[in-house]
Structure formats: structure tokens, C-alpha cells
Structure 1
Amino acid sequence: MHKIEKRAEPGHFSKWKSGYAAEHGRQPVYEDLANTYEYGLLKKELVKEQGYICCYCQNRIGKSSKLDDCNIEHFKPRHPDRGTLTPEECDICENAQLSYDNMFASCLGKLQDDIDHCNHKKDNWYDFELCISPASDEINSLFGFHFNGKMIALNNNPCGTAMKDHLNLNTYILCEQRKAAFTAVLENEFDEDELLQDDTYILDTIADYGKMDGNGKYSPFCSMIRYCLKEYFGNVLSA
């Protein structure tokens, strides 16, 4: 995960909510939004805001105009677990179901118990002490990676540990995808030996993977790539 720069709530979404309230005499809930034209517009905004990667695993989303490879994720769940949260905490979650700051775009996972991940695996889990929003500055310091693609919680941080486990972000498939992405960067970006010793080029490459490209897209698994490049070239950069 990396920090998502949340923008202001889209004007069309604000207008839809106020229009719904005026027409129906009550504030809308998420079920009122689902399967509407506004839902499609909102999902498009979220995918674009995130640079076309999942808010959790950073896999590519939005590969087609239908956006059928992702859905809208509520970081604070719409249906919180009343067995683990207080009534007051549940109210906070339920009241955030149409808050733009609480909405992200997530991949669809795999929908199988052993390999499912991201929002489907997370389901209704939420912990007010352990869950750090993808829009928080803290998110960038929670996670690290091994060259084999495995995600780790830096310094055994309890927040990072809980989130990677509940989101199941170390499935075999995800680890292999991250490892392949990093290997491809080494092969394609550093295909000439002299580049391996060029501090400026190395730093520029690391910086580039922290930015969206000209089409407004991040590279899939960009956080893992940047972290592992820093680890891989640590001796060169510290010399």
C-alpha cells in the first residue's frame, strides 16, 4: 500500500446526494447509490484518483472501460461487526458509508478462501486502533518487502501486521506478481552495466516509480518496486 491522495468530493456526487435527499425526504445510503449511473461515475473517479491500481494490493484495475475488475471499497465497513465494535464505533462506520474520504477502489480479489485478498477478504473487519487508512500519511511507513515479493510489517508494527493479515496480502499469487514486477524493472531499467553504478539514474528511477505516468497511472506494485530498489542499491547509494 501507499498513500492515496484523496481529492475533494466530486461535485456530481455531492449534487446526487443532495438531490436524492430533496426527492426522497431522507439522506441516501449506499444501497440507494448501487447500480445507478452515479455509481459508475464515482467508481471511475476513485480508480483515476488511485492511478489505476488497487488501494490495497496495488494490482492494476480499470483495465477496461466497464471497470468490471474492481468495486467501491468502504474502509470503514458499511456493515460493521457489532460483536467486536462498540455501538458508537458501529455508528461511525455506518455514517461514513457515503463519505468520499472513506471510499476507495479495490480489486476483486480471487473469491476463494485460500487465495482471496483485499476488500473481499477484509469483509466487515475493522479495528479503530489497528486500521490505517490508505489516505493516511502513516501508510507509507507501515510496510516493507522482500525481493521474493513477500510483504512485511516494518518493525513488526501491529497495525501493519493486522492489516496485511486481514487483507491476506501475502498470497502466493500476489507474492509471485510482485517478485515478477521487480525482476522486470531490474531487467528493463538496468539493462546496461554502467547504470547499476549510476547514482543519479538509480535515484531518478526510484522517484519515477513513485509517480503516475503520462496517462495518470501508477505502475502495479509501485511501492514494492521502490522499496526493493532502495534495498537492492543500498550499498551504492550510501557509498
Structure 2
Amino acid sequence: MKHIEKDFGTPEVLDYENELKKNLLDKDSLSDNSVHPTMKGKHVYDTVKSFSSFEKLKKILFDEQGGICCYCGCRLEYPKQPQYIVEHVFPKEKDRTIAGEYENFLLSCRPTEAEEKNRQKVSKKEGRKFFHCDKSKDSEVIAITPLQIDCHKYFVYDEFGGVKGVDTKAEKDIETLNLNCKWLCDRRLAAIEGEIYDDNFELLPDDELRQRLETIMNKDATGKYAEFCFVVKNVIEGLL
């Protein structure tokens, strides 16, 4: 994971928050059980999705994450179209008061066409193994989130594409998010190999690895991070 910093002062966020309050769907209003008494978290979110300010808010979410998934770090854009899910950090099913709050929104990856095709070839139970990030998390609560400044300290990546947690909380979150599924491990491995080996598949010398380390977390000219940038960073740090 990589820490995602929220900016509550942008015009887009302010416009969205104002529309939320106008419709009595902000957390203060919804804390009063007499306000929209029959409305559950899912219905709150279904309503805010129709707000005129919501599309602009999603662009803010995309930009603040640098175009990568909040959990695994894969690119949220694919050749055909942007693919992402608006993720509720704390499940909307468990707390309606923050179901529409910007502070509770992140963007998670959506299964690719290849993943969906593989999933459809097996039973429904086995197909769950192909889900990861939000699709795997569903309405579960995780202990460590990208909103925590130190979230990166809880996960250690190896040069083969695997990830381990530093404690039981992190291990449970890895399981909940299915971050060690084959698809993610293979994608992470490809990204790692492209950064730490030369054309002859020899490990780069330390000085070149340090150069990679200095730039890997920089956004490109379009404001996007490299896919799995924080994974590569962690692996290189482990090698030096």
C-alpha cells in the first residue's frame, strides 16, 4: 500500500461536500436517525452517484492516487477504457453516515477482461480466487488502509512478486484483499524484473539500483505513478 493524502480544500471537493449537505446526506445529518430514517448506506451511495459534482470528484480521486489502485498499485487505466471502482474504505453497509463522504472514498482496480474470463471457467466458489482488492474485500473491514501515513510499513514485498505482512493484522488484510493471488503476483514480478535486472537478466549494481530508488516514486508528465511503484521501491530497499 501507499499512503494517499486527501485534500479537502479543492473546489471539486468543496462543491461535492456542499451538495452532500444540501441533500442532508453528510455524516452530521445522517447521524440523526430521524433524517432519511429508512435510508441505508447503499442507498446513500446510490443517491450521491447521481450528483452533478460526483464525476468531478472521481477525477480528484484518480489524480490524488496518481492513477494506481489504492490497494495493489496496478494502473487503473487499461487499453480500452479506465477501469476502477469507487471504494469505501469503511464499508457503506456498516455505517451509513460516511457512505457518501469524500474522506471515505478511494479508487480500487476492477477485474480485467482476462481475469473475468478465467473466473468464468471455474465454479463460483473457485472464482472468488480471481478477485482481489475491493472485489475481494467486499464489505469486510480492514485494519490497515491507504489513509494511514505509515501503511507502507506493514507490507514487505519479495523479488518474486509475493507480499507478506509484518504482523497478524497485515496478514489478515492481505488475505481479505487477496493480494497474493496469482494474477497480481505475476504482474508484480514483471514490474520488479523490469526495474532490477539488466538485459542479460543480471541484477543491476547497487549504484544503478539507488538511481532507480530515487525516481521510482515520481509521477510522470501526465501525473501518473508507474504501476506497482511502491512495490518496486520496497524490493530495491530490501536488496540494498
Structure 2: gaps (5+ residues):
26-34, 37-42, 117-126
SS of the equivalent of 1:160 reads helix
Are residue 3 (structure 1) and residue 12 (structure 2) matched?
A: no
Aligned residue for 1:171?
Answer: 181
What is the CA distance between 1:197 and its match in structure 2?
A: 3.8
Residue in 2 aligned with 1:14? 17
Give the equivalent residue in structure 2 for 1:77.
91
Which 4+ runs in 1 deviate beyond 4 A? 63-66, 190-193
SS at match of 2:108: strand
Task: Give the stretch that moved more between structures: 220-229 or 206-215.
Answer: 206-215
Please state if 1:160 is matched with 2:173: no
Query: Cα offset for 1:192?
Result: 9.9
AA of the residue aligned to 1:158: T
Counterpart of 1:182 (choices 182, 189, 192) is: 192
CA 1:36/1:100 → structure 2, altered by over 3 Å: closer, same or farther?
closer
Tell whether the 8 Å contact from 1:212 to 1:219 is kept in structure 2 after alignment: yes
Give the Å deviation of 1:181.
Answer: 0.4
Following superposition, the deviation at residue 5 of structure 1 comes to 1.5
2:228 corresponds to which residue? 221
Q: Determine if contact 2:195/2:212 at 8 Å carries over to the other structure.
A: no
Give yes or no for the alignment of 1:137 onto 2:149. Answer: yes
Unaligned runs of 5+ in 1: 81-92, 235-239
How much identity, in percent, do the aligned residues show? 26
- Given that residues 47 and 62 in structure 1 are in contact (C-alpha distance below 8 angstroms), is that contact kept between their aligned partners in structure 2? no
**What does the per-residue CA deviation read over 1:188-226, in whole Å, with 9 as the maximum and x for residues that have no partner?**
xx5699x94463x53332131122222211111111101
Q: Distance in 2 between matches of 1:73 and 1:221?
A: 19
* TM-score with structure 2 setting the length: 0.77
CA RMSD in angstroms, aligned pairs only: 2.8
CA contact (8 A) 1:6 1:49 kept: yes
1:101 to 83, 100, 103: 103
Aligned to 2:209: 202
2:163 corresponds to = 151
What displacement does 1:15 show?
2.5
Code of the aligned partner of 1:210: M
What number of residue pairs does the alignment pair up?
209
Distance 1:198 1:182 in 2: 15
* TM-score normalised by structure 1 residue count: 0.77
For residues 35-55 of structure 1, give each alpha carbon's deviation from its aligned partner in whole angstroms, at most 9, with x where no partner exists.
Answer: 444332222111111000000
Between 40-49 and 117-126, report the one with greater CA deviation: 40-49
- Asked if 2 retains the 8 angstrom alpha-carbon contact of 1:54 and 1:105, the reply is yes
